Amino acid sequence: MGTMKRNGEDHPMTSTEGLNYPQAGATRLGPLPDGYHHLHHRTRIGRGRPAFETAGAAVTSWRMHRASGARVDASTTRAEPGSAVEVSLGIGPVRFRAPCRVIWTAYERDRTGFAYGTLSGHPERGEECFVVEFGDDGSVWFTVMAFSRPDRWYTRLAGPLVPLLQRLYARRLGATLRRLAAEADTGGTGGPRWSGSRHPTTG
Q: Using CA atoms, how far apart are residues 104 and 47, in angstroms rounded to an integer?
A: 26
Q: Rounded to whole angstroms, what are the CA distances from 91 to 33, 69, 83, 94?
A: 33, 10, 26, 5
What would the pLDDT profile of 115-160 be if each residue is shown by its tens digit?
999 998 888 899 999 999 999 999 999 999 999 987 666 666 777 7
Question: What digits encode the pLDDT tens for the residues 83-119?
Answer: 999 998 765 555 678 899 999 999 999 999 999 999 9
Q: To the nearest whole percent, how much of the chain has pLDDT over 90?
A: 61
Query: 1 pLDDT exceeds 60?
Result: no
User: What pLDDT is recorded for position 157?
Assistant: 75
Per-residue pLDDT, averaged over 13-25, amounts to 82
Global pTM reads 0.81
- Distance between CA atoms of residues 167 and 76, nearest Å: 27
Task: Give the 3-state secondary structure of 82-134.
Answer: CCEEEEEEEECCEEEEEEEEEEEEEECCCEEEEEEEEECCCCEEEEEEEEEEE
pLDDT in tens, 48-78: 999 999 999 999 999 999 999 899 999 999 9
173 pLDDT band (50/70/90 cuts)?
Answer: very high
